[in-house]
């Protein structure tokens, strides 16, 4: 159960990061969001 | 399309490419399996789940190689890969699987006991994903894993791990350490279930003696030694004397502490009728004071920092410029296993086990581990 909640939480963070990436106007923040997104996406896909 | 949109597409594409590159490596690590050749002595390849169905279809399930002799005798179980970063035990088991002929008795082998641990490296330790052993016909590769079960398969760790059934408190992450989870728990975590399955195997197959193969870092006192449950101490003493007298192998013997729980040499001896023993060799890649961590260190065991530590008297094994090569470590294990089996057979002649065609210490050092690895069919 706790693992399921953990993955839901990861997916929520992925959604937030994508939303922020789309809304962002500053290029440095865009790069930051794009890079931070990677490990969370890999975790949601259960690859790492 | 605006410049801003084009920029966002380029950045996210670059990020996705990096994710694919990294993800591909992680996926390979999760799914790769080294080829093991079914040697002439192997009669059956069973699964650990045959002894405890709950782990069927999980990453905890693993192969059990069964070698039946021509004559009836005793049964020995050789476990390796309980700690997947301790490679000499795995290679020793593979040498047995691919070379041994069983004349009398039965030999059961579990080369990758903690199968989940082979799918991960330890974060921050720069562990190589695999290592390669050169042979006369080419090379064979093997996975190099973590000491603990992959957290992808068992998560989260508690603050304090309370061992079942003793109630002893251990570090939280040791709930993923197979050699702290014996005798295991039927409804426990994945690692506890794997330990439970091995305990069930020992009971169902009426295993007379269990030998668990490990390695330790040079700064750790339990190294180059045999650890024995109190019922198995006679076997360890005879083996130690013979290894020293006939092969010049200096090896210690230690009594399994009664109050240190979760380990094979304690719990399997307490909860089953088997004689439980554990053997250790020296693996410098595990030492915290090591230098560059790569395949070369794993196989040669040469390290300037550990050499310096040795000169300062900080090590528990002799260590010089020659390091601790894998051939020497595997040779120690093959001779130790053979000598433990010989000692058991002398002490319990009605349960004699006779094995042939397994190289001993001097032969493995002279010809190398690769000499005894068979060529698998198909692509490596």
Tell me: the pLDDT tens digits for B185-195? 999 999 999 99
Start-to-end CA distance of chain B, whole Å, equals 48
Residue B380: the pLDDT is 57
The beta-carbon neighbor of A2 closest among B12, B152, B156 is: B156
Tell me: the pLDDT tens digits for B235-268? 999 999 999 999 999 999 999 999 999 999 999 9
* Contact yes or no for A48 and B152 at CB 8 A: yes
Contact residues for B132 (Cβ-Cβ < 8 A; gap 6+):
B139, B140, B141, B142, B295
pLDDT band at B140 (very low <50, low <70, confident <90, very high): very high
pLDDT surpasses 80 at B379:
no
Full DSSP string of A12-41: HHHHHHHHHHHH---HHHHHHHHHHHHHHH
* Contact yes or no for B152 and A25 at CB 8 A: no
Residue B165: the pLDDT is 97
* β-strands B63-68, B275-282 pairing: unpaired
B60: three-class secondary structure by DSSP: coil
pLDDT band at B378 (very low <50, low <70, confident <90, very high): confident
Closest of B115, B90, B98, B99 to residue B33, by C-alpha = B115
Contact residues for B337 (Cβ-Cβ < 8 A; gap 6+):
B78, B92, B96, B211, B213, B279, B358
Closest Cα in chain B, distance from residue A20 (Å):
12
Lookup: tokens for B10: 């380029």
Q: How far apart are CA B139 and CA B373, in angstroms?
A: 9
What are phi and psi for residue B4, nearest 5 degrees? Answer: -60, -45
The beta-carbon neighbor of B15 closest among A25, A27, A34 is: A34
Residue A3: the pLDDT is 84
Q: Mean pLDDT across the stretch B129-157?
A: 95
Lookup: tokens for B131: 């290592």
Most distant pair of Cα atoms in chain A: their distance: 39
Residue of B nearest to A35 (CA): B15
Contact residues for B328 (Cβ-Cβ < 8 A; gap 6+):
B281, B301, B361, B364, B365
pLDDT surpasses 90 at A46:
no
Q: How far apart are CA B327 and CA B310, in angstroms?
A: 21
Sort out which chain A residues have CB atoms less than 8 A from B8's CB and list them. 21-22, 30
Would you say domain B32-372 falls under CATH 3.40.630?
yes
Contact residues for B199 (Cβ-Cβ < 8 A; gap 6+):
B182, B183, B184, B267, B268, B271, B272
Q: How far apart are CA B180 and CA B78, in angstroms?
A: 18
Tell me: the pLDDT tens digits for B4-27? 899 999 999 999 999 999 999 889
What are the percentages of helix, strand and coil residues in chain B, rounded to 5? Answer: 40, 20, 40
Residue B123: the pLDDT is 85
The beta-carbon neighbor of B7 closest among A6, A27, A48 is: A27
Q: Mean pLDDT across the stretch B36-41?
A: 97
Residue of B nearest to A3 (CA): B155
Size of interface A-B (CB pairs under 8 A): 41
Percent of chain B with pLDDT over 70: 99
Contact residues for B123 (Cβ-Cβ < 8 A; gap 6+):
none
Q: Please state the domain extents for chain B.
A: 32-372
Q: How far apart are CA B104 and CA B68, in angstroms?
A: 8
pLDDT band at A2 (very low <50, low <70, confident <90, very high): confident
The average confidence (pLDDT) of chain B is: 96
Q: Mean pLDDT across the stretch B288-297?
A: 96
The beta-carbon neighbor of B11 closest among A6, A31, A45 is: A31
Q: Can you tell me the ipTM of this complex?
A: 0.90
Sort out which chain B residues have CB atoms less than 8 A from A47's CB and list them. 23, 26-27, 30
Sort out which chain A residues have CB atoms less than 8 A from B22's CB and list them. 38, 42, 48
Residue B56: the pLDDT is 98
Closest of B239, B263, B262, B265 to residue B252, by C-alpha = B239
Residue B25: the pLDDT is 87
Tell me: the pLDDT tens digits for B98-138? 999 999 999 999 999 999 999 998 888 889 999 999 999 99
Q: Mean pLDDT across the stretch B39-50?
A: 98
Q: Cite the DSSP H helix spans in chain B.
A: 3-31, 87-99, 190-204, 233-247, 264-271, 295-300, 304-311, 326-347, 361-367
* Contact yes or no for B152 and A46 at CB 8 A: yes
* Contact yes or no for B7 and A22 at CB 8 A: no
């Amino acid at each position: 159960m706790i693992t399921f909640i953990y993955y839901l939480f990861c997916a929520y963070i992925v959604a937030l990061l994508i939303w922020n990436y789309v809304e962002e106007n500053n290029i440095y923040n865009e790069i930051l969001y794009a890079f931070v997104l990677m490990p969370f996406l890999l975790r949601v896909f259960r690859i790492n | 399309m605006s410049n801003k949109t084009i920029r966002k597409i380029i950045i996210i594409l670059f990020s996705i490419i990096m994710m694919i590159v990294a993800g591909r490596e992680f996926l390979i690590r999760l799914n790769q399996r080294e080829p093991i050749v079914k040697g002439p002595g192997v009669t059956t390849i069973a699964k650990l789940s045959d002894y405890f169905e709950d782990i069927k279809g999980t990453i905890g399930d693993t192969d059990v190689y069964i070698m039946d002799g021509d004559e009836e005798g005793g049964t020995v179980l050789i476990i390796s890969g309980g700690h997947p970063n301790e490679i000499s035990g795995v290679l020793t088991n593979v040498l047995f699987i691919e070379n041994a002929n069983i004349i009398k008795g039965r030999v059961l082998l579990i080369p990758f006991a903690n199968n989940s641990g082979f799918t991960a490296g330890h974060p921050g330790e720069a562990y190589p994903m695999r290592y390669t052993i050169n042979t006369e016909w080419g090379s064979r590769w093997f996975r190099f894993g973590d000491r603990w079960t992959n957290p992808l398969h068992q998560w989260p760790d508690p603050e304090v791990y309370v061992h079942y059934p003793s109630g002893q408190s251990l570090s939280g992450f040791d709930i993923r350490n197979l050699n702290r989870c014996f005798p295991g728990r039927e409804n426990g975590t994945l690692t506890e279930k794997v330990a439970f399955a091995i305990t069930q195997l020992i009971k169902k197959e009426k295993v007379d003696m269990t030998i668990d193969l490990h390695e330790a870092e040079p700064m750790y006192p339990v190294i180059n030694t045999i650890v024995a449950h109190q019922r198995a101490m006679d076997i360890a003493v005879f083996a130690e004397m013979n290894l020293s007298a006939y092969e010049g192998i200096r090896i210690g013997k230690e009594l399994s502490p009664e109050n240190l729980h979760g380990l094979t040499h304690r719990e399997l001896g307490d909860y089953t009728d088997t004689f439980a023993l554990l053997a250790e060799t020296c693996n410098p890649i595990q030492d915290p004071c090591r230098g560059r961590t790569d395949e070369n260190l794993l196989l040669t065991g040469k390290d300037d920092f550990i050499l310096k530590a040795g000169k300062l008297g900080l090590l528990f094994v002799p260590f010089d410029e020659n390091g601790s090569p894998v051939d020497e470590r595997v040779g120690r294990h093959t001779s130790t296993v053979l000598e433990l089996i010989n000692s058991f057979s002398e002490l319990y002649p009605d349960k004699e086990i006779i094995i042939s065609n397994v190289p001993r210490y001097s032969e493995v050092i002279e010809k190398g581990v690769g000499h005894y690895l068979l060529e698998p069919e198909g692509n490596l």
